[in-house]
C-alpha cells in the first residue's frame, strides 16, 4: 500500500497529503475535546496541569524537531502525533483501564484499547463527509496511529487489519519517532506538573542519575538554584534537550523523500532508538515516577473517582439505552452492538462532561 493512498477519492489542493491529514485532525471534534481530558492530573484540579491536548501538542513539537533533523517527513510525524491520543477516555489511563474491564466483564473479549480507538475515531466515528465516515486520512497516517506504540500485534485486531497494516512489520520511521517523542514529552511534563503541585520533589527524583545530571547542569552551567522558581522550567528544558540530542547524535540521517512502510520486520531491532545507557536511565526514571507520582494518594483518589464514574455510566447507559443521544439510539436500532455504542460514547466524553452526567444520574 502506498503511503499517500486514501481509501476514498479526495480532491488535491495547495497542501501536501500529510499536511491535509494534519489539518483534518486539528479541525475534528475529537481533537477539540482533548482540551478537557486528563493526562495524569485531573483537569479540574488546576489550570496549569497538562491535558491530552497540551500533551499532544508537545509530542508534535518534539516529533517535528526529530523528523526534521533525521531527514524524515515532518508533516506525517506531526499528523500522527496530533492524532495519537484521540481515542483516550476521560480520566486518563485509569478511565481506559476501567472501560476495558467493564467491556470484558460484559462479554466483549477484546475490551478497550486507546490506540485502536484513536484509529476508529479517524476511520469511522468522526463524520465530516456525506458518502463515508471518518477523515479519509492517508495510509501512512492511519498506520502510524494504529501502530505507533510497541508491540504491534494487538489481540483486538481482526484479520483484515492484520493483513492490511502488516503487524509483523515496524511502522514508518515517523511513527517510531512519535512513540519516542511521546515518551520524552510525558516524562518531562509529568515531572514539571508533579513538582509544581508538590506531589514529588527533586530529592526523590535525584535517585535517577539522568535527573541528577540535569539538576547539576542547571545549577552549574546556568547558575540557577533550587530556590528560584525558574529552576523547574530550566530543568524540564534540559531533560528534553538531553533526550532529544541522544536520539539525534546516535541515529543516522535517513534523508527520505517518501515515507517508507513495511520495511523493517518486527523481529528486527528498532531502526531509531536511544542509546542503551539512556534506555536504562529512562526505565529507572519511569519506575520512580510510577512509585512516587502516579501512585500518589492525591492522584490515586482522583483516578478512583474517575474509574467509578466510568463504571456507573457504562452500567446505566447499557441497561437503559434511552439515556443515550437519539443518533446513538438509532444506530442500536439499526443493528449496532449496544456495548460498543456505549463505550464509544463514554470514550468521547471530556472529564467534566462525564462528571456532570454522572451527577445528573444521581450518583
- Grid coordinates standing for 6? 486514501
Cβ contacts of residue 346 below 8 Å, gap of 6+? 89, 90, 99, 310, 313, 314, 317, 354
How many other C-beta atoms are found inside a 10 Å radius of the C-beta of residue 253?
10
Of the candidates 146, 145, 121, the one whose C-alpha atom is nearest the C-alpha of residue 135 is 121
Q: Decide: 150 and 179 in contact? Cβ < 8 Å.
A: yes
**For 68-126, what is each residue's pLDDT tens digit?**
999 999 999 999 999 999 999 999 999 999 999 999 999 888 899 999 999 999 999 99
Map grid coordinates 492530573 to a residue. 41
- Which domains, from first to last, does the chain contain? 17-253+261-360 (1.10.3210.10)
State the pTM of this model: 0.94
In angstroms, what CA-CA distances link 227 with 201, 219, 223, 230, 253? 13, 11, 12, 9, 41
- The angle subtended at Cα 255 by Cα 271 and Cα 257, nearest 5°, is 110
Label residue 42 by pLDDT band (50, 70, 90).
low
Does 150 score more than 80 pLDDT? no
Query: DSSP of 323-336, one letter per residue?
Result: GS-HHHHHHHHTT-
Contacts of 72 by beta carbon, 8 Å cutoff, 6+ apart: 66, 173, 174, 177, 254, 256, 259
Model confidence at 256, pLDDT cuts 50, 70, 90, reads confident
- What residues contact residue 227 under an 8 Å CB cut-off, 6+ apart? none
Among 140, 165, 139, smallest CA distance to 152 is for 165
Give CA–CA dist 143/122, Å, rounded.
11
For residue 348, name the pLDDT band (cuts at 50, 70, 90).
Answer: very high
Q: Is 38 helix (H, G, I), strand (E, B) or coil?
A: strand
For 114-138, the DSSP string reads HHHHHHHIIIII-B-SSSSSB----
Give the confidence band of 46 by pLDDT, cuts at 50, 70, 90: low
Amino acid at each position: 500500500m502506498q503511503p499517500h493512498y486514501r481509501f476514498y477519492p479526495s480532491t488535491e489542493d495547495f497542501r501536501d497529503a500529510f499536511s491535509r491529514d494534519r489539518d483534518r485532525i486539528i479541525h475534528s471534534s475529537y481533537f477539540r475535546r482533548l482540551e478537557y481530558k486528563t493526562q495524569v492530573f485531573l483537569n479540574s484540579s488546576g489550570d496549569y496541569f497538562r491535558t491530552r491536548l497540551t500533551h499532544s501538542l508537545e509530542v508534535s513539537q518534539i516529533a517535528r524537531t526529530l523528523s526534521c533533523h533525521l531527514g524524515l517527513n515532518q508533516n506525517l510525524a506531526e499528523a500522527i502525533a496530533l492524532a495519537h491520543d484521540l481515542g483516550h477516555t476521560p480520566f486518563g489511563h485509569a478511565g481506559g483501564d476501567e472501560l476495558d474491564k467493564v467491556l470484558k466483564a460484559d462479554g466483549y473479549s477484546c475490551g478497550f484499547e486507546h490506540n485502536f480507538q484513536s484509529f476508529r475515531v479517524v476511520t469511522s466515528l468522526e463524520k465530516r463527509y456525506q458518502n463515508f465516515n471518518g477523515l479519509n486520512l492517508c495510509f501512512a497516517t492511519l498506520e502510524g496511529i494504529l501502530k505507533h506504540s510497541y508491540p504491534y500485534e494487538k489481540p483486538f485486531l481482526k484479520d483484515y487489519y492484520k493483513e492490511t497494516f502488516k503487524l509483523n512489520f515496524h511502522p514508518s520511521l515517523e511513527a517510531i519517532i512519535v512513540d519516542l517523542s511521546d515518551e520524552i514529552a510525558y516524562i518531562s511534563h509529568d515531572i514539571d506538573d508533579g513538582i509544581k503541585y508538590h506531589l514529588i520533589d527533586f530529592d526523590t527524583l535525584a535517585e535517577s542519575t539522568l535527573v541528577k545530571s540535569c539538576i547539576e547542569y542547571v545549577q552549574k552551567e546556568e547558575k540557577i538554584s533550587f530556590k528560584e522558581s525558574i529552576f523547574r522550567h530550566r530543568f524540564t528544558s534540559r531533560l528534553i534537550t538531553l533526550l532529544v540530542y541522544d536520539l539525534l547524535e546516535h541515529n543516522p540521517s535517513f534523508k527520505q523523500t517518501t515515507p517508507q512502510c513495511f520495511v523493517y520486520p518486527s523481529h528486527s531491532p528498532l531502526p531509531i532508538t536511544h542509546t542503551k545507557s539512556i534506555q536504562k536511565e529512562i526505565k529507572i526514571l519511569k519506575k520512580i515516577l510510577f512509585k512516587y507520582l502516579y501512585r500518589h494518594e492525591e492522584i490515586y483518589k482522583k483516578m478512583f473517582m474517575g474509574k467509578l464514574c466510568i463504571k456507573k455510566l457504562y452500567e446505566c447507559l447499557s441497561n437503559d439505552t434511552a439515556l443515550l443521544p437519539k443518533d446513538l439510539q438509532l444506530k442500536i436500532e439499526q443493528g449496532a452492538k449496544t456495548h460498543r455504542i456505549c463505550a464509544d460514547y463514554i470514550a468521547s466524553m471530556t472529564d467534566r462532561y462525564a462528571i456532570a452526567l454522572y451527577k445528573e444520574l444521581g450518583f
